[in-house]
Structure 1
Amino acid sequence: MLPSAHRFPTTKYQLLQQYLISSGIANTKDFHSPTKICIDQLKQVHDPDYVDGFLANTLDKKQMRRIGFPWSESLVDRTLHAVNGTVLCAKLAIENGVALHLSGGYHHAHQDFGSGFCIFNDLILAASTMINSGKASKVLIIDCDVHQGDGTATLASNNTNIVTCSFHCLKNFPARKAKSDHDVEFHKYTNDDRFIETITEVVPYLINIHQPDLILYDAGVDIHIDDDLGYLNISTAGILARDTIILSTAKKAQIPIAAVIGGGYSRDETELTQRHSQLFIAANSI
């Protein structure tokens, strides 16, 4: 458990699942539960000393402060399950066309350090696993969290089989941006019309020029106008439109797509749950 005043909304994952079931958006048979990720698999992406240090609670205070969580056994357990959930989501997407993860989107995790509530980079882990297993040859990561996917960009910088695109607010965390293959930056207070116009233009372009055979999509809702850590003016309807466009574009191109819910920060649990649920509503609609 995190301290009661902690900024990260740890309850959102369970509340989202409960909401999806109670609202009839999903039912219990739709869900798959991941096992813990293999430690050797983590070390293929992340520095072994960093991995071991996190697992054994030997990272120094500065490193843990940068991550943003106090260390605990439950944090280790949650992390190992959550990152493997994205790997499982990618596998299920390849088998079924689309799959959605009730967690994931740890795009600030770099090779040898964590940052911004992100410990291990599940997007790179999933992409690398699908490529190494022969299930995909080129993976396109579309990151629509309000914050740039800087860890994803640095981890994929020397891998031509993983293409990174980050749609994010320019004046927001991280202060120092990394270089993705494609960075689409929005000014503060960008509204629905401008945002959706850009998504509609750029996503088909990315698919056309890169011809991926798997898309990993970070559907962060911290772009919402009322999000505590975002600076864009996107409505709940705008989030639904974004998710519908991206999922339907992938379907039209016959490319499997695996989506994670990404960031979302609000002390109103009901509103946050409804924002994250737009991804699942969009998936049902197509």
Structure 2
Amino acid sequence: MVKYELIPAQLLYEGVVSADCFFEPKLVEMSTIALAHDAHYVSQLMDLSLNAKMVRRIGFPLSQSLVDRERYILDGTIQASLYALEHGIAFNVAGGTHHAGRDFGEGFCLFNDQAVAAAYLLDRKLAKKVLIIDLDVHQGNGTAHIFEKHPGVFTFSMHGDKNFPFIKECSDLDVPLPDGMDDGAYLALLKENLDKIFTIFDPDFVFYQAGVDILATDKLGKLKLTTDGCLRRDEMVLQKCRQNGLPVQISMGGGYSEHIKDIVNAHVNTYKIAMDIFGF
């Protein structure tokens, strides 16, 4: 998607960051991907032998360049999580591939970047309890599938009830939203549920999927949030993490507004508020 090129360009243009704030990911290894995904499924993707039915479910024609693209995204989120441990917060300009489950791809997602990164931190004992906050308008069904009943991971998805995927998985906490929800109702519900999560679960690392397809301008979202409401959403999540002294990795997730500037500006706002809250 063109937004993945425009976001860093806009950040540089506005002087929000400098060029040395960026890092370049590598192709992640199969053994790392298999920390969260079924090894046979990973192998079939890597050697391009995935069956036609699953390829249709993913929605993209399978190719080496597509698999490599997803491997770069995974490494970007893993590296960002390591930077977050060091600096408090870090981003993957892409990512948010939350529809990929343990042994399936779906919704243009082959591998699940935040799930793999969470499994990586847990495997290396860099975190003990991980919270995944998914505020994309679409349910993080793949993430829920991967971490079903995993005691070290709490999955939270607040999403459009009548939106894709139409068959939902069970997150640790799902908050389905009616079509047409506006800023006030959304933010009140988010605050209530964040307070609940931090009462019942004590994470030491947070992954945040910050899709901007909640905007009223989004062609697929069906919600009615303004750009300011989206910014206040990010502020609420990141303030909660900062107050609890938690490192945060952020992946961009979805955004399908008619005008690309609406998507890019909303994503850039996430960077701006993160830098303000975390003192950069």
- Which letter does structure 1 place at the counterpart of 2:221? G
Structure 2 gaps, min length 5: none
List aligned pairs for 1:63-74, cutoff 5 A. Answer: 63-74=54-65
Q: Corresponding residue for 2:84? A: 93
The residue that corresponds to 1:274 in the other structure is 265
- How far apart are 1:267 and its partner, in Å? 4.2
Distance across 1 between alignment mates of 2:45 and 2:135:
28
Alignment of 1:105-184 (within 5 A): 105-184=96-175
Cα distance between partner residues in 1 of 2:268 and 2:41: 34
**Of the candidates 215, 223, 226, which is equivalent to residue 235 of structure 1?**
226
1:207-256, CA deviations, whole angstroms, 9 ceiling, x for partnerless residues? 23211000100001111111111111011111100001111110011111
Indicate whether 1:251 and 2:266 are aligned.
no
Contact 2:67–2:110 (8 Å) recurs in 1: no
Query: 1:225 aligns to what?
Result: 216
CA–CA separation in structure 2 for the residues paired with 1:54 and 1:174: 22
> For the residues of structure 1 that align with 2:76 and 2:120, how far apart are their CA atoms?
12
SS of match in other structure, 1:255: coil
Tell me the amino acid that sits aligned with residue 262 of structure 1.
Answer: G
Counterpart Cα distance in 1 of 2:35 and 2:179: 37
For 1:252 and 1:274, how far apart are their aligned partners in 2?
26
| Distance of 2:228 and 2:15 partners within structure 1 | 19
**Deviation for aligned residue 1:158:** 2.8
What's the secondary structure of 2:85's corresponding residue?
helix
Question: Structure 1 vs Structure 2: percent identity of aligned residues?
Answer: 38
Query: Aligned partners of 2:145, 2:102: CA distance in 1, in Å?
Result: 8
- AA paired with 1:131? L
Q: Distance in 2 between matches of 1:167 and 1:278?
A: 20
Q: 2: CA distance between counterparts of 1:56 and 1:200?
A: 45
Question: Secondary structure in 1 aligned to 2:224?
Answer: coil
CA RMSD of aligned residues (A): 1.2
Q: Please state if 1:56 is matched with 2:42.
A: no
Give the distance between the partners of 1:187 and 1:236, measured in 2 at CA: 19
What is the CA distance between 1:22 and its match in structure 2?
A: 0.3
Match of 1:14 among 5, 19, 28: 5
SS state at 2:9 partner? helix
- Structure 2 distance, partners of 1:90, 1:19, is 23
In 2, distance between residues paired with 1:267 and 1:226?
7
Give the CA deviation at 1:175: 0.7
Q: In 2, Cα distance between the equivalents of 1:148 and 1:276?
A: 19
Counterpart selection for 2:196 from 201, 205, 210: 205
Structure 2 counterpart SS, 1:259: strand
| Residue 47 (structure 1) aligned with residue 38 (structure 2) | yes
Which ranges in structure 1 are unaligned for 5 or more consecutive residues? Answer: 1-9
Tell me which residue corresponds to 1:284.
275
Q: Matched residue of 1:80: which SS? A: helix
TM-score, normalised via structure 1 length: 0.94
- 2:21 corresponding residue in structure 1: 30
1:161-204 Cα shifts (integer Å, max 9, x gaps): 01100010101011111111001111000000011111222213
**What displacement does 1:38 show?**
1.2
Between the aligned partners of 2:261 and 2:4, the Cα distance in structure 1 is: 12
CA contact (8 A) 2:218 2:258 kept: no
Secondary structure of 1:113's counterpart equals coil
